[in-house]
Structure 1
C-alpha cells in the first residue's frame, strides 16, 4: 500500500546494514514511499518530509528524546518505532525486537491506521460544529490493562501497572476471558503461572478473534516454539518496571485509538454523546429523558430510572465504569455520567421489577471489574431505582430518586 507521506528511516552509517534490512522489509510489504536520513539531520528531515511514520535506529538517548518530543507535537499522529528498544526513553517510542523484522510491517500498519483515524477525526471536528474539541489529555488516563497471572511477580506487576493505568486482575484464563468480553481493554499483560500450552492456546484465541488481534500483548514467559502473527505481541523478561515501560507506548496508542473512536461516535450523534464516557452528555440526557417520559405517559408504557453511586471512585474509575455501562446496557436504554460522578440510566418500557433485574446485572459487572485508585479496593456501587407513575413528569421522577438517595445515605 502506498502512502502519500513517506515513512522516514533515521540511521547513521554505523547502522546502515540494519537500515537496509528495514527498508527491504518495508519494500517487500509495499509500505512505500520510504526515505532515509542521518541522525544529524533528523529534525530537519521531519519538518521537510512531514512523514507518516518514523523508524529510528540506534540513536543516542538525547537524540531520541528530542526526536520523540518533536514528533509528539505533530498532528495527525505520527508513530515512532524504535527497533531493539528495551526501555523506552519517551512515551511515544514504540519498541520491538530488532531482529524480528517480519512483524515490523504488521505493527507499522496498525500504527498507520491510528494515524488515519486521527486525520479523519481532525477533519470532521473542523467541519462539524456539533461537538467541541475535547481538551487534550494523556490517553493513559483512560487506559485499562488486563493483568493475568498467579505467580510471584503478579503483585509487583499489579502495583507497577496500577501507578500508570487502570488494572483489571485475573488469576485464571477463564476469568480473563470474561473480562475480555465485558469491557474495553487497551492491553494485556500475561505473567507467569501458566504452562506453555496454555499460553499458546490463549494467544491463538486472541489471534483468531478480530476484536483482540491488534491489542498490545506482553508475555513474560519464554516465546512458544511456533510463531503467532499478532502485530503488537511482545515477549519481555525482566523486572516489573521494565515490563511496564516496554508495554505502555503501545497501550497509549491503543487508548488513543479508542478515544478517537468515541469522538467519531459523538460526531455521528451530533455531539449528544460525551466522547470520554460513551454516554449522553448531561444536557442531551435531560432533553431525551423529558421526551421519553412524555411519550411513555401518552402510550401508557413503563419507564424506570436507576442512579449508580460509585463509592471510592476516582475520576478515572468513574469514566471507566461509565464506558462499561454504555457497552452493556440495552440499545433501547440511555444514560449519562453526572458531574458528581454518579451514573443515571433510563430503562425504557420497563417496570420496577424488570429495572431491578437489569440493575443487578450491571452492578455485578461493575463490582467485578471496576477498581478505585487504590488497588486493594473495588468500586462498591449503591443503586437507587424509581419508576414512572401516572401523571409523573421527568422532574418528579428525578426528585423521587434524589429522596431515595438521601434516605440510603442516611441509613
Structure 2
C-alpha cells in the first residue's frame, strides 16, 4: 500500500516538473521600455540687424526722346551725311534734299519784292508832291486820296512779297534735315537718290536718345501711398534695374524714381511709374524688359529669420525654439514677409529656432540638430574624385 502511494507521489512530481518546464519555455519574453527617439532637425539663430524692405516689378526701358526723321518738302534725297548707329547731337546736319526749285522760287519772290518796292518809292514821292499841291488847291482832293490809296496798296504788296520770301526761306531750310535731339541714328530706310514725299510715313530713320534713359513699370495700386512718399521725399528713391531676377541677375544701372502716373489703370488695378537712369555705358536699351527693385523702407534692429521658420497655427503664428535637447513652442508676430526673409517679434536675438523638420515636432519633443548642408563646388568635387 505504501509502495503505491510513493509511486503516485513520484508520478505527480514528474508531471508538475514537466508542466513547469513547458511553461518556462513557452511564456512571452518581458517587454523592454525604450527611450523616445530624437527627431532630426535643422536650426538657425535669430539675427538682429537693420533690414531694408524692397518692392520689385517688371519694367520696360524707354527713350526720353525718340524721333522719326521725315522730309518736310518733296524732293530728291541728294546726300546722307550720317551712318547707321552713329551718335549725333541736336542740330547736326543729317541729310540734304535737292533745293534748286525752292531756290528759284525764293529768287522770284525777291525779284517781286524789288519791283514792288520800286513802285512804292515812286508812289510815295508822288504822294508828297500831291500833299504840297493840295495846300493851294493845285490838285483835287480826290486825286490826292487816290494816290494815298495806291501807296497803301503797294505797301501791302511789299509785305506780301516779304512773306513769300520768308516762306521760301523756310522751305529752303527744310532741304537740310537736322537732328532734333541728341541720340543714336537707327537703321536707314531710304538711300540717296530716292524721291522723298512729305506723305511718306516710314521716314528716313529714327534718332533715339540713349543717355539718359527711362524705365516705365507698374506696381499694385496698394503701393501708391508708398510711391508718393518716395517721390516727394527729400532724397530721390533709388531704383535698380536688372536683366533677369534680382537675386542672380545682372545689374544694369541705378536710377531714381521721378514720376507717378496721374491715374490707376482700372482693368489691372496697377499704377504706372517712371524712373530715370544715367546710361553712359548704354547697358539699358530702348524696348528692353528689365526687373526693377526699389527700397521702400528700412527696419532698424529687426529680428530676421528665413520664411520657413515661422509656422501657422490655428490662432497665431509660432516657431519651435530649441531648449537643450528638446523643443518648445514660442508665439511669433510677423512684421514683414517676402520670398527671402521674415521679420518677426516674440523670440529674442540669438534664440535657436527650427528651420527644417517641423512636421514631426510637438512641444517637449527630443531633437537631434543636423549640420547645415555644405555646398560642394567644382574644385571640391574634383578633389573628392581624386
TM-score bracket for this pair, using the shorter chain length: under 0.3
Taking structure 1 as the reference length, the TM-score comes to: 0.20
Taking structure 2 as the reference length, the TM-score comes to: 0.21
Larger helix proportion of the pair: 1
Structure having greater relative contact order (Cα 8 Å, sep ≥ 6):
2
Larger strand proportion of the pair: 2
